[in-house]
A and B are shown apart, each in its own frame.
Chain A
Amino acid sequence: MGRQLIYPMEERYQEYLSDESKMVGKADSISFPENEGEILEIIAEMNACHTPVTIQGGKTGIAGCAVPARGHVLNLSHMNQVKAFNKTAQGEALLKVEPGMTLLELKKAIKKLKTEEELFWPPDPTESSSTVGGIASCGAKGICSRLYGDTRKYIQAARVIQWDGSVKEIKRGETTVSFLGREKDLLDVYLGGEGMFGILAELTLRLEPRPKEMWGISFFFEKKEDAFTFADNLMTEDLQVEGASIAAAEYMDRATIDAIEERKEMMTALKELPDVGAEVAAMIYIEIHGMEEEAVEEIAEILMELAVRCDSDPDRAWAVSGETEIEKMRVFRHAAAESANLLIEKIRQREPRITKLGTDMSLDKEDFQSVIAKYEADIAQEGLKACIFGHIGGNHLHINILPEDYEEYEKGCKLFEAWAKEIAAQQGKVVTEHGVGKLKKPLFLQTASKDCIEEIQRLKHTYDPAGMWNPENMI
């Protein structure tokens, strides 16, 4: 007899009813399959009793995508092995992995590959416990997407388990489906599909040569308006240098810096960084990647001049290079999101109805200055507190409202609705990298076009006619 695969949802599995959105869901049972065969057994059983399944990776999503609404939780964290590595005749490095492999495990696995040049997988949503399956399903990108672009570019193929238990191999470029009058790669239905169309049981990742030179620079500004100008200049200035590029440009306001500094005592990695001076009103973190040292330096020099013009002292800017030192800076940037989530967790202890209130909207039609000024003015007008950080490219800011009580939470929700409508009206994106899930579903349904929603419903009906996967997500 095989091992027991399905467990009733007892108290000890409580943590699997929630993710980093801090929403709490409901489920009757849970499983932790270790291979494709076990998934198939579980699915057969769920099919037999018409029980819907919520697929889980690392539960680090912040839109409640992996929070179960009912039925069964299929947690894939025990499927975290490398399956194969090969180089194609065209020189592409392809790594086949199980979906529950975390970013941390993936980085270690890539380091162990015996290749002539160092390789890496560009998508990096900074949370090292997020899984490849989760990242693929949410289209999570992370700070370096400015240079490397969409996560889909780095996924070549997938093995998908469908609602009826059949298994399908999908390779990029082989099949297309029509979506909103255009042809869409079938693989891309599943990537960014938030687990609504099937289980990604294996993924083939396209690895890239790791940049030989990496610099991380943190610029500090005493007046936030100077940081806004710097951000806008970053988008307009000629920063093209052959052999190197700006990979990341991230903004953090003072409230975010304070939230991070408060956590210093508890986080060893943060303790290695000096304190940010009390006079600092905002900071901008930039990463430069390249294959040639001189080119990276050239960009750094242009940035230095730009900083001087924007009243940011280059003598006080932190500048590091190499993977180990850059990691310290990334820990700081990552702590922005973590600290915001922890603050919400604290508030929830007083008021459990409160969930995370963080935006994921982007709007590249306007300049940074006017976008952030509008957010700040609205927050001030409502008398709310917030911390603001995020990607300068596309003005893709994460505004995290920190409500004191439920009344403020509701005010925050209303603000979000108003912003979403405005951004949608200006052809911006209401959901950019965190997924729609359950938390952002009302915003998404209010702002997405009718055609788009109908097309998603049509795809859902085609690929999941029995309504097996991730009930209540997105539509």
Chain B
Amino acid sequence: MLKIAVCVKQVPAYSEGLMDPETGVMIRAGLESVLNVYDLPAIETALRIKEEAGALVDVFTMGPAKASAVLKEAYAMGADRGYLVNDSCFSGADVLATSYTLMQAIQSTEDYHLILCGRQTTDGDTAQVSGAIAKWLDIPHVNWVTEILHVAHDSITVRQAMEEEIVTVKATYPCLLSVERSIFLPRLPSLKGKIAAKKKDINVLSLADMEDQEESHYGLTGSATKVEKIFPPAKTAQRDIIQKDSQEAANYILEVIKKVNK
């Protein structure tokens, strides 16, 4: 049976760009947490493959204990097993350490044929974790995947939307796909699934469960970069009040759109 791992993240539901003025760190306290919207299509993709070709769908998330909520949500959608990658030494990780930790967690669990990631997260926004996981595992990586064309026992054929062209790619397993939001509209959890999810266990993976148990390879110490400051971009609000008749106003708006799109 095809084995699929999906990487997901819990993120703040929204951010009003509030920063702690002293530390430069985003204020998350009190904000509702949700499953990153870019990851939902990755779960959906895995579930569609499962429904069509049969597959085991495991979901991985690295984060604090409360991040297990996103695994419960994935259960409610139809995922089989959820893994919370959690250890005090994993915190403070950048892209390098995050991808390394996820790779270790995935590798220590199963020999997966397919790993699915969302395009990016709404809080970190780097869109680099999926590529980095593939690099650590030394497996093919296809990003910007907009369509699954064929699922075979040894490979998967997908459509990849490059900037200028659309490419059809056949990747042999094991491989990693990073899917676009447009690939599938994610299903909503079903009531039956949601109730069942509440009763299902979450597997926790800590440093002791990893193949590489060298603490310095994880978290802040395993990170190559350190965020000095995060700040919202300067607001460039521009407001023009134009009073014209409807025809002239429509033409004016068209001109503005053309100018912006240039």
Which residues of A approach B to under 8 Å, CB–CB?
118, 215, 217, 219, 271-274, 297, 300-301, 303-304, 307, 314-325
Q: A324-B32, A324-B34 are in contact. Are A319 and B194 (CB under 8 A)?
A: yes
Is B187 among interface residues, defined by CB-CB distance under 8 A?
A: yes
The answer to whether A319 and B187 touch across the interface, beta carbons within 8 angstroms, is: no
Contacts of B185 in A (CB 8 A): 271-272, 274
A sample of 26 cross-chain residue pairs with beta-carbon separation below 8 angstroms, ordered by A number, consists of: A118-B30, A217-B191, A219-B191, A271-B185, A272-B185, A274-B185, A274-B188, A304-B191, A304-B192, A304-B195, A314-B192, A314-B195, A315-B193, A317-B192, A318-B189, A318-B191, A319-B189, A320-B189, A321-B194, A322-B13, A322-B34, A323-B13, A323-B32, A324-B14, A324-B34, A325-B34
Is B198 among interface residues, defined by CB-CB distance under 8 A?
A: yes
The answer to whether B190 and A316 touch across the interface, beta carbons within 8 angstroms, is: yes
Q: A315-B192, A323-B13, A324-B13 are in contact. Are A274 and B187 (CB under 8 A)?
A: yes
Is B76 among interface residues, defined by CB-CB distance under 8 A?
A: yes
Taken residue by residue from 60 to 80, chain B's Cβ proximity to chain A (1 for < 8 Å, 0 otherwise) reads as 000000000000000010000
What CA separation (Å) do A392 and B32 show in the bound complex? 30
The answer to whether B195 and A301 touch across the interface, beta carbons within 8 angstroms, is: yes
What distance in Å separates the Cβ of A175 from its nearest Cβ neighbour in chain B? 40
What distance in Å separates the Cβ of A118 from its nearest Cβ neighbour in chain B? 8
Contacts of A300 in B (CB 8 A): 191, 194-195
Contacts of A271 in B (CB 8 A): 185
What distance in Å separates the Cβ of A276 from its nearest Cβ neighbour in chain B? 11
> Apart from A300-B195, A318-B188, what 7 extra A-B contacts exist at CB < 8 Å?
A273-B188, A274-B188, A315-B193, A319-B191, A319-B195, A320-B188, A323-B32
Contacts of B13 in A (CB 8 A): 322-324
A-B contact count (CB 8 A): 58
The bracket for how many chain B residues form the interface is 10 to 19
The answer to whether B198 and A319 touch across the interface, beta carbons within 8 angstroms, is: no
The answer to whether B190 and A314 touch across the interface, beta carbons within 8 angstroms, is: yes
Closest to B194 in A: A319
Contacts of B187 in A (CB 8 A): 274
Contacts of A318 in B (CB 8 A): 188-191
Contacts of A319 in B (CB 8 A): 76, 188-191, 193-195
Contacts of A217 in B (CB 8 A): 191
What distance in Å separates the Cβ of A257 from its nearest Cβ neighbour in chain B? 15
Query: Which B144-199 residues sit within 8 Å CB-CB of chain A?
Result: 185, 187-195, 198
Contacts of A215 in B (CB 8 A): 194
What distance in Å separates the Cβ of B31 from its nearest Cβ neighbour in chain A? 10
What CA separation (Å) do A316 and B189 show in the bound complex? 9
Query: Which B26-71 residues sit within 8 Å CB-CB of chain A?
Result: 30, 32, 34
- Of B14, B194, B195, B198, the most chain A CB neighbours within 10 A belong to B194
What CA separation (Å) do A324 and B190 show in the bound complex? 17
What CA separation (Å) do A325 and B187 show in the bound complex? 12
What CA separation (Å) do A314 and B197 show in the bound complex? 14
The answer to whether B191 and A307 touch across the interface, beta carbons within 8 angstroms, is: yes
Contacts of A320 in B (CB 8 A): 188-189
Q: A274-B185, A315-B190, A319-B190 are in contact. Are A297 and B195 (CB under 8 A)?
A: yes
The answer to whether B32 and A314 touch across the interface, beta carbons within 8 angstroms, is: no
What CA separation (Å) do A397 and B5 show in the bound complex? 47
Contacts of A324 in B (CB 8 A): 13-14, 32, 34
Contact of B191 (CB < 8 Å), options: A314, A322, A323, A325: A314
What distance in Å separates the Cβ of A299 from its nearest Cβ neighbour in chain B? 11
Contacts of B190 in A (CB 8 A): 314-319
Contacts of A301 in B (CB 8 A): 195
What CA separation (Å) do A323 and B32 show in the bound complex? 8
What distance in Å separates the Cβ of A440 from its nearest Cβ neighbour in chain B? 34
What CA separation (Å) do A10 and B140 show in the bound complex? 66
What distance in Å separates the Cβ of A35 from its nearest Cβ neighbour in chain B? 23
What distance in Å separates the Cβ of A82 from its nearest Cβ neighbour in chain B? 17
What CA separation (Å) do A300 and B34 show in the bound complex? 21
Contacts of A274 in B (CB 8 A): 185, 187-188
What CA separation (Å) do A296 and B228 show in the bound complex? 43
Contacts of B76 in A (CB 8 A): 319
Contacts of B198 in A (CB 8 A): 297
Contacts of A307 in B (CB 8 A): 191
Closest to B33 in A: A322
Taken residue by residue from 17 to 31, chain B's Cβ proximity to chain A (1 for < 8 Å, 0 otherwise) reads as 000000000000010
- Of B13, B14, B192, the most chain A CB neighbours within 10 A belong to B192
Contacts of A304 in B (CB 8 A): 191-192, 195
Contacts of A219 in B (CB 8 A): 191
The 9 closest A-B pairs by CB, nearest first: A317-B191, A319-B191, A318-B188, A314-B192, A319-B194, A324-B13, A314-B191, A315-B192, A315-B190
Contacts of B30 in A (CB 8 A): 118
What CA separation (Å) do A83 and B13 show in the bound complex? 28
Query: Which B220-240 residues sit within 8 Å CB-CB of chain A?
Result: none
What distance in Å separates the Cβ of A254 from its nearest Cβ neighbour in chain B? 20
What CA separation (Å) do A287 and B13 show in the bound complex? 20
What CA separation (Å) do A297 and B195 show in the bound complex? 7
